[in-house]
Amino acid sequence: ATPMSVMVGVGKAAEAGVLIRNGEALQTASKISVMILDKTGTITEGTPKVTDIILANFSDEKTVLQLAASLENGSEHPLAMAIVESAHDQGIELLKTEEFNAITGMGVEGRCEGKALLFGNSKLMASKGVGIGNYSEKAQTLAKDAKTPMYFAVDGQLAAIIAVADPIKPDSVSAIKRLQANDIRVIMLTGDNKETAAAVAKKAAISEFFAEVLPEDKANKVHELQQQREVVGMTGDGINDAPALALADVGFAIGTGTDVAIESADITLMRGSLHGLADAIAVSKATLRNIK
Ligand code: ADP
Ligand code: MG
């Protein structure tokens, strides 16, 4: 396309709240064959809320929440914020913790009042030798309801399951259907567990998804699809998504997302809505048509 028609396209996109940082991305957007969407904060609102606390070998819900929130106070993960907020809402005061450690894609650990605390997914519990017994069934029931269950252990013993829910943005489904109507294969990518991912994908009208993807493997998924001669669009909001956004043929960042994601992407969806994707593709097609 001529520099002039690209400029016009960039302007048109901007009117729709789609900020295009490089003209080349605008031209590639119309050729996207696969769109990868991150789950949390991209398809969903990204502000999970605590919905369930199921006690196991522990008598008191308030203490569980106090310990879990004290530990999570050291983390910036959206799941951590949900726990801290829930404690705050109940007027629970946070305690000092030591030896805090975040284990990427799995959870967090630390010490509080002489107790060893562990909070995260089933992989984390397995890796630290914490038995979850038939509590995995309770976790699965929560996950089938599109909630994310997390295991909380105190001194090596399961103390509770805490679940959060993160609703899908009201217009995500219609935006995803617009992409599919453009013959684009839509794939959801998440670090969350398989059951929750399946439930969210179903609600979002997405038939293909990869779950339990470690942050470092998100970019590998983009690469794999490129090897299969797909033109890959990637949409995300998190620090975790940055390498995948940079590698994709066109990277789209959610405007309300992290700075790292925005800097790694070619295009920013200022309104946070996934409709910006189909809008960008439409402008791209119009731009290429104008030069012919
Ligand atoms: P995503 O942001 O896509 O959910 P992550 O790779 O950040 O993926 O996390 C994967 C999983 O690891 C989460 O679904 C959760 O079960 C667990 N996890 C990660 N960070 C935390 C945390 N701070 N507290 C509790 N669990 C966590
Ligand atoms: Mg995200």
Q: Collect residues with CB below 5 Å from ion ligand 2.
A: 38, 40-41, 237-238
Ligand 1 atom closest to the Cα of residue 72 is 23
Angle at 189 between CA 185 and CA 194, to 5 degrees: 115
Q: Is the beta carbon of 139 within 6 A of some atom in ligand 1?
A: no
Give the ligand whose atoms come closest to the C-alpha of residue 105: 1
The whole-angstrom separation of Cα 68 and Cα 94 is 9
Helix axes 275-291, 3-15, angle to 10 degrees: 160
Q: Is the beta carbon of 148 within 6 A of some atom in ligand 1?
A: yes
Cα separations in angstroms, 131 against 43, 144, 222 = 33, 22, 35
Q: Is the beta carbon of 236 within 6 A of some atom in ligand 1?
A: no
Burial class (CB within 10 angstroms; exposed 0-12, middle 13-18, buried 19+) of 264: buried
Angle at 276 between CA 272 and CA 277, to 5 degrees: 120
Q: What ranges make up the beta strands (E) of 21-90?
A: 34-38, 49-55
> Whose C-alpha lies nearest to ligand 1, atom 6?
105
Q: What is the pTM of this model?
A: 0.93
Q: What is the pLDDT along the chain (292 residues), one digit of tens a residue?
A: 788 889 999 999 999 999 999 889 999 999 999 999 999 999 999 999 999 999 998 889 999 999 999 999 989 889 999 999 999 999 999 999 999 999 988 999 999 999 999 999 999 999 999 999 999 999 999 999 999 999 999 999 999 999 999 999 999 999 999 999 999 999 999 999 999 999 999 999 999 999 999 988 999 999 999 999 999 999 999 988 999 999 999 999 999 989 999 999 999 999 999 999 999 999 999 998 876 5
> Predicted ipTM?
0.95
| Structural domains of the chain sorted by starting position, each given as residue range(s) with its CATH number in brackets | 3-45+168-291 (3.40.50.1000), 49-165 (3.40.1110.10)
Give the ligand whose atoms come closest to the C-alpha of residue 195: 1
Q: Annotated catalytic sites, by residue?
A: 38
For the stretch 112-128, what's the b/e string if a residue is b when 16 or more beta carbons lie within 10 angstroms of its beta carbon? Answer: beeeebbbbbbbbbeeb
